[in-house]
Amino acid sequence: MIATHLRADAVLRALEPHHAEEFLANLDRAREHISPWVGAAFVATDLDAARAVLQRYADGRAADGKRLYGIWLDGVLVGGAMFVTFDARSGICEVGCWLEPGAEGRGLITQVVRMMLDWAFLERGLIRAEWHALPDNTRSVAVAKRLGMSLDGTMRLGAITPTGRQDLQVWSVLAGEWDSGRAADDGVKAELDRLTGAFLGAFTNTGGKRPDVEVIREVFIPEGRIISNVGAEPVIYDLDAFIAPRQAMLTDGTLTEFSEWEVAERTEIFGSVAHRFSEYRKSGRKDGVWFEGRGHKTTQFVRTPDGWRMSSMAWDDVA
């Protein structure tokens, strides 16, 4: 099966009937969280119903209609996104998503839906994509805004939910609007996304996973510098000085169940150099005590004969 790597620890692939057991387990973990927002016909309660949902989307895909994609994080299905409708003749589609609570805040849905809209607009020639959300579903509304969608209006009592009829917001973006806001070289942006994901994923040791901090040597130029601006004065590391203590902390029991992920970013590309400003979050146990934090990173990239690489990074923890 063809899979698209979203970052070091996350994969996107088609969600098919043979995934029914994984899909049901994902829904069981997410049920209470997503039931107020996701249609009851989707939130299956047993294996036969889960298989029926996936078959419905498989049939839709075969008819060049609806499509369903799953997101696997560290090998576990945690959610996904779908073309609720996809009509090549009219040029209109509707996109939706779901995600279990433990996978939220990592930018996965926004990244996946961007990829889906790229395909819909640039490869299939659609002219309009819609996103439907209940007004008080703040996470869903935030995704629509991050995608550059406009609020067309509110369909009063347009949604049937487990608690009764509610208003329904309709957001949309047009092909021309999507194109106008894109970077000149999407391939470069995708490569910078990959490098960033590989760097952040190098520290992950959740679920017994062994961190791979040496990956940092692959994403940086050999002369790269990494700067901590957390304390009173900046601390500047070369790659050796940065990697060694972190490898030790992540493998000797000092820092466990640790992960770090990007929640927002702005990337600018100027020929053979680029800059990325990121907001990130992190969590784990240090000396057995659970902690959570967030901060900002600024990263510089350069194009080399071997491809794009990071040249420097600086970070500041704010919590």
Look at residue 46 in the predicted model and tell me its pLDDT: 96
Q: What is the pLDDT of residues 83-95, one digit of tens each?
A: 999 999 999 999 9
Dihedral angle computed from the Cα positions of residues 111, 290, 100 and 174, in that order, rounded to the nearest 10 degrees:
-20
Task: Report in angstroms the alpha-carbon separations of 4 from 8, 10, 92, 199.
Answer: 11, 9, 25, 18
Average pLDDT, the chain: 91
DSSP string, 156-190: EEEEEETTEEEEEEEEEEEHHHHHHTS-S-HHHHH
Q: What is the rounded distance in angstroms from the CA atom of residue 260 to the CA atom of residue 202?
A: 9
Q: Which of 124-133, 189-198, 270-279 has the highest mean pLDDT?
A: 124-133
pLDDT tens string 145-192: 888 899 999 999 988 887 789 899 999 999 998 864 454 456 788 899
> Angle 206-282-212 (CA atoms, 0-180°, nearest 5)?
45
Non-local (6+) Cβ contacts of 311 within 8 A are: 220, 221, 223, 224, 225, 300, 301, 302
- Higher pLDDT: 50 or 179? It is 50
Give me the residue label for tokens 């008819």: 63
Q: Which of 30-44, 88-102, 134-148, 165-179: highest mean pLDDT?
A: 88-102
Residue 5 pLDDT class (50, 70, 90 cuts): confident
Q: 118 is written with which tokens? A: 């790229």
Task: Determine what percent of the chain is predicted with pLDDT higher than 90.
Answer: 71
| Contact between residue 93 and residue 126 where contact means Cβ atoms under 8 Å apart | yes
* Domains defined along the chain, listed by start: 4-180 (3.40.630.30), 186-317 (3.10.450.50)
- Give the containing element (helix H, strand E) for 53: helix 47-62
Q: What is the pLDDT, as a whole number, of residue 304?
A: 86
Contact call for residues 15 and 51 (beta carbons, < 8 A): no
Residue 3 confidence (pLDDT) above 80: no
Helix orientation angle between 47-62 and 20-34, rounded to the nearest 10 degrees: 100
Report the pLDDT averaged over residues 32-49.
Answer: 91
Q: Count Cα neighbours of 159 within 13 Å in the Cβ-side half-sphere.
A: 20
Can you give the pLDDT at residue 179? 62
**Could you tell me the pTM of the whole model?**
0.59
